[in-house]
Structure 1
């Protein structure tokens, strides 16, 4: 499976600690940071195993170039002690697709001096991965499509997705955190209220769904949506699996 040289960094921590991570990521030039809030529901035994407690949580979604992710994680361990039980969880997930060059630049602005160099580096990384991996070890049957859109436009995103066969999705309200670069990139405010739309799609349907979202609700629309996808390893509980039991 080819990747785009970009990782989605997911940080889960107590709400009163999440600002420390945001500041750390900004120091590494990571300007794309979206925060959502929730509460843990796992049993006490599971929470103990994960090193978490039952207090209210914040989930921070950040984008980081593959070349920087290891350095950022090392710095997070050093400065936030996230490796200590109770301090949170940090993970990275490779993007399996991105909605065009502008989306890639948007996700990683501040991490590269020039957009042209970024695109060249990403293309070279994909080429090397393709050469090194003659036999793919992971070809996901499903992908999680994530669209981040301006508040009030999630229905427009879902209408676009459904028009080409998407069965449904989940909408989460969130907020951008980078006020310093608000309204700086293609007129998109990074600090405004956002809505995140999560759609699970078959691999063969991913591209057409993403393309339609971009066409109807992309950067050139009032929705100002950015769209990317993540590979799904295993999945359960969706009716679409009835036609593809081999995915389990």
Structure 2
């Protein structure tokens, strides 16, 4: 074989990838793996451990403000922990406060999940945040001679009430069924809570199995960061 015969074969050999391209490709793959792992870890954490929630209304002022991002402990009641009076909880009000939620579709569900994962939007149109006033077996009534709510004949001390609000402008007297909760907002004059649904099935009470978790802290804005204390009665 002559030298001229060998030259076309040399030219037909594929060019070798440059080292810089290989490094860039490995870096991209690494970041993709990290991003996907972060998304999966965040979704698992939100599903089973902690989840951020956006406060969309003023029903819990002045404890929680509109726009607060709170962190909800989804394990608080999973391993024998009991829901107590005074706990601030997030629950699914479908079937008790609202009609059952319609399917938002695949795209709508993905967008809502993504927004809720970072606390930028409500996770559901039927999620509510309220304070537990009565648990199963309690008799809750309003009001005594001094205008206070009574639970099992004892008046509630409610330092968390929004300034200027009365404990309730609605009179009621209800025995909370076992496995259900009587819940109210701290801003009583601006809260659609158990009082609003007295005539509905369940008498305004919420099933325990609809509770998503207990609000533990305010994570945003930073000037309001802090742990949330329950006011147990």
Structure with the larger helix share: 1
> When the two structures are superposed, what TM-score results if normalisation uses the length of structure 2?
0.26
> When the two structures are superposed, what TM-score results if normalisation uses the length of structure 1?
0.25
